[in-house]
Amino acid sequence: MSPTPKSSRITLSPAWALLLLLPAALAAGWLVGGLPVPVTTPSASTPEVLAGPGQAPVVAVVPAGRSGPASLFGSPSRSEPDAAREEPSSWTTLPDAIAQSERNGKPILIDFNAEWCGPCRRMKQEVFDGGALGRAVQVAVIPVSIVDRQAEDGSNPPEVESLQRRYQVNAFPTLVVFSPKTGRSLQTRGYGGPERTAAWIAQAAKSVR
């Protein structure tokens, strides 16, 4: 009796089956990955975060040629408020400074000074009119000068008196940096030199935002 021929059917183990299916899976993944990401326009109440604690991730538009949300790559063009905050602000009146700050979010510096005050004149010359330092101050804040006229005129205008009472100004110079947006303010008295004064103004501007 001749032996029964064995079946030529080959049985593949699960491991070999996975290896054979892997190239097909990779090709399918590559095709899917090249498709556009669904565009979702966040509403005004949507938090401006990608994924915060306890919050669902916000779907972001991925521009062609980029592999992640646009915010991770930096904005190619600055918004108007951001650009305005990086531009020097001219010395102006307090009402105008408040109007500017409401538009661009930049903090305001009030320099309380007097004509007879020697340190005030030095600070103006060495800091506010001092080239690079003066420009740095005007980039950090919207500067306003409030001149006390008590010694010369016997009194100050009502708005100056009110402002000095509000910040308890009893010595010159007094510097106040505040943000109309947050309501926070910082102040210092006296003049400690050009670099120290300019550095304090820049740091105060960051702190009150």
Is the pLDDT at 35 greater than 60? The verdict is no
Residue 140 lies in a domain: yes
Is the pLDDT at 78 greater than 70? The verdict is no
Q: What is the 3-state secondary structure (H, E, C) of 127-196?
A: HHCCCHHHHHHHHHCEEEEEEECHHHHCCCCHHHHHHHHHCCCCCCCEEEEECCCCCCEEEEECCCCHHH
Q: Rg of the chain's alpha carbons, rounded to an integer?
A: 32
Query: Of 196, 147, 193, 197, which is closest to residue 172 (Cα–Cα)?
Result: 147
pLDDT per position as a tens digit, 184-196: 999 999 999 999 9
Q: Domain span at residue 190?
A: 81-208
Residue 11 lies in a domain: no
Q: What is the CATH number of the domain that holds 141?
A: 3.40.30.10
Residue 189 lies in a domain: yes
Residue 125 lies in a domain: yes
pLDDT per position as a tens digit, 137-191: 999 999 999 999 999 999 999 999 999 999 999 999 999 999 999 999 999 999 9
Residue 36 lies in a domain: no
Residues 6+ apart with CB under 8 A from 185: 167, 176, 177, 178, 179, 208
Number of independent structural domains in the chain? 1
Residue 64 lies in a domain: no
Mean pLDDT of 65-72: 30
Query: What would the two tokens of residue 198 be?
Result: 């300019």
Residue 120 lies in a domain: yes
Distances (CA, A) of 63 to 33, 39, 67, 75: 14, 10, 8, 12
More confident residue, 102 or 5: 102
Residue 60 lies in a domain: no
